[in-house]
């Protein structure tokens, strides 16, 4: 009987521990699904049945009359925003309350590769952003463009190599190899040549970053459930050593000096030469209320972390967005023809050669790409964390420090109250005369506010160059095994991906 009583007590204690936060949204009058002990509302994500984007989108559509919806990721209360005004408040107006992304499960012990501009929070993020923003000026991007053109021409001439009768290729894989080559050149100063060799070491490294096995998934779940006990476990341990050695060897070859290639490592070495990063703290204030001064050295490990996120963010997001755009064009030949006519007309002014100015003139191609990102944004959601207690004035909702806020872009981008006929691929909706002001804080493929994507213009530039290179020479059509509505990979995390690729028929143009 004593053992039975102890067992009952232990189970009760365990249950209370596993449900200790589950009254959070009920007390605040926020609608939410009933959570499961220890798991919260994340069961389908933990079982790899749905991605975080899909889970957030399901709740968005389930509660159509609510401005916000509650959610529990394990024990953590999270808030899904459905109202554009509250989105603006979170990302822009009251950014000082929501500057962290909240992606690090432990605040003080952060994996070396996650100390980058995307994952970092607080003063680390602010100092990095302050130092790196000048590296993405129009002049710097224009200097990089010849490296992009060279890879775009390889994509056109080597990787596709289709005849008039056509060739079926996985558009997702082709664009991933193009993006890998672009990152190799513009990020590392390397000639990865993934477009000629699909098994190149650099391509394998890119795939390795986004391949999460059972052990990595378990580590992530444990870090979320028990952040203090699991703070030293590493999700990126399998690639950490490879990335550190690669960046170190490149910097040693350059004697830690910019070499004139105008690639990302050159830009970071220029940042390092400026000395210690110094700025005003976003986290600490003096007794008089003014911010403290903070400083940080841009050392080799910190540089490696920035190169890692340049690789990871550029590789996955651009290849996802460009391949999905090609998929839509394949099913809309009349739109594809219009895009190709514009590309032909613009290139005729520049002797048939891709260049920075030519890409800037391809307005309809730009609209088609933006429409692709509307229908299937690479980042299916944006995430922020409350840095202190805060009350949303629109709904008089108080939240505590540490509450995660999710903006479900995939759902908002496809909501008919913002986009008429959202399932229809219509580039015209992004022509200047047609853009509706009400989508300003709804259509956010690159984020918004001080934490908007620093590489937006670079990503657009290389994506449009790749699409222009393909469509100037080839047309794309659905293949026999092409799905009209591709299936999202349920194991997608921050960046969405398609399950089983995007097979398309590439046919050499005869017009």
Q: Which two tokens stand for residue 457?
A: 């213009």
Pairing of strands 277-285, 382-385: unpaired
- Cα distance between residue 217 and residue 210, in whole Å: 12
**CB-based contacts of 447, cutoff 8 Å, min separation 6:** 91, 379, 382, 453
DSSP β-bridge partners for residue 278: 295
User: Is 453 marked as a binding-site residue?
Assistant: yes
Q: Please count the other Cβ atoms lying within 10 Å of the Cβ belonging to residue 219.
A: 17
Give whole-number Cα distances, 508 to 160, 164, 329, 340, 511, in Å.
10, 5, 15, 13, 9
- Cα distance between residue 466 and residue 153, in whole Å: 8
User: Is 210 buried (19+), middle (13-18) or exposed (0-12) by CB count in 10 A?
Assistant: middle
Contact (CB, 8 A) for 347 and 472? yes
What b-and-e string marks burial along 116-145, b requiring 16 or more CB atoms within 10 Å of the CB? bbbbbbbbbbbbbeebbeebbeeebbebbb
Q: What is the largest CA-CA distance in the chain?
A: 90
Is the Cα dihedral 413, 418, 424, 430 positive or negative? Answer: negative
What 3-state DSSP class applies to 168?
Answer: strand
Q: Give counts: helices (H), strands (E), the chain.
A: 18, 11
Complete edge-to-edge strand list for the sheet that includes strand 404-407 = 68-73, 76-81, 404-407, 382-385
- Phi-psi group of 136: left, alpha or beta (phi > 0 → left; psi -120 to 50 → alpha; rest → beta): alpha
Binding residue ranges: 453
Show binding-site residues for heme.
Answer: 453
């Amino acid at each position: 009987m004593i053992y039975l009583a102890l067992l009952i007590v232990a189970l009760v204690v365990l249950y209370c521990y596993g449900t200790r936060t589950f009254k959070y949204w009920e007390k605040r009058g926020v609608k939410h699904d009933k959570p499961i002990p220890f798991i919260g509302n994340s069961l389908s994500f933990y079982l790899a049945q749905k991605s975080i984007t899909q889970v957030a989108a399901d709740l968005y559509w389930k509660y159509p009359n609510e401005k916000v919806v509650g959610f529990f990721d394990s024990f953590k209360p999270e808030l899904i925003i459905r109202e554009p005004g509250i989105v603006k408040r979170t990302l822009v107006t009251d950014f000082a309350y929501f500057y962290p992304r909240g992606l690090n499960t432990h605040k003080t012990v952060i994996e070396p590769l996650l100390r980058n501009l995307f994952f970092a929070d607080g003063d680390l993020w602010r100092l990095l952003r302050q130092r790196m923003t000048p590296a993405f000026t129009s002049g710097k991007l224009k200097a990089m463009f010849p490296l992009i053109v060279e890879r775009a021409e390889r994509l056109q001439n080597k990787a596709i190599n289709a005849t008039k009768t056509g060739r079926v290729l996985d558009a997702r894989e082709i664009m991933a190899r193009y993006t890998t080559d672009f990152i190799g050149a513009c990020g590392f100063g390397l000639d990865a040549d993934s477009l000629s060799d699909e098994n190149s070491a650099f391509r394998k490294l890119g795939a390795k970053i986004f391949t999460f096995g059972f052990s990595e998934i378990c580590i992530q779940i444990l870090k979320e459930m028990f952040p203090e006990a699991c703070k030293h476990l590493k999700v990126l341990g399998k690639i950490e050593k490879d990335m550190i050695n690669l960046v170190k060897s490149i910097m040693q070859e350059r004697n830690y000096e910019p070499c004139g290639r105008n690639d990302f490592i050159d830009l970071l070495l220029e940042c390092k030469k400026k000395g210690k990063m110094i700025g005003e703290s976003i986290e600490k204030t003096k007794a008089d209320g003014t911010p403290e001064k903070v400083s940080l050295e841009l050392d080799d490990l910190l540089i490696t972390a920035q190169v890692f996120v340049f690789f990871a963010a550029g590789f996955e997001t651009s290849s996802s967005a460009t391949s999905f755009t090609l998929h839509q064009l394949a099913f809309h030949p009349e739109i594809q023809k219009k895009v190709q006519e514009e590309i032909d007309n613009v290139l005729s002014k520049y002797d048939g050669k891709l260049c920075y100015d030519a890409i800037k003139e391809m307005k309809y191609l730009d609209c088609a790409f933006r429409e692709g990102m509307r229908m299937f944004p690479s980042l299916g959601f944006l995430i922020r964390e409350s840095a202190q207690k805060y009350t949303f004035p629109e709904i008089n909702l108080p939240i505590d420090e540490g509450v995660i806020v999710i903006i479900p872009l995939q759902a908002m981008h496809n909501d008919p109250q913002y986009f008429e006929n959202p399932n229809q691929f219509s580039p015209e909706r992004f022509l200047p005369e047609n853009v509706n002001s009400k989508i300003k804080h709804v259509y956010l493929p690159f984020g918004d506010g001080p934490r908007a994507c620093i590489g937006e213009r670079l990503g657009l530039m290389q994506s449009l160059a790749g699409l222009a290179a393909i469509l100037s020479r080839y047309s794309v059509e659905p293949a026999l095994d092409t799905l009209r509505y591709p299936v999202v990979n349920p194991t997608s995390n921050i960046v969405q991906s398609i399950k089983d690729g995007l097979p398309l028929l590439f046919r050499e143009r005869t017009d």
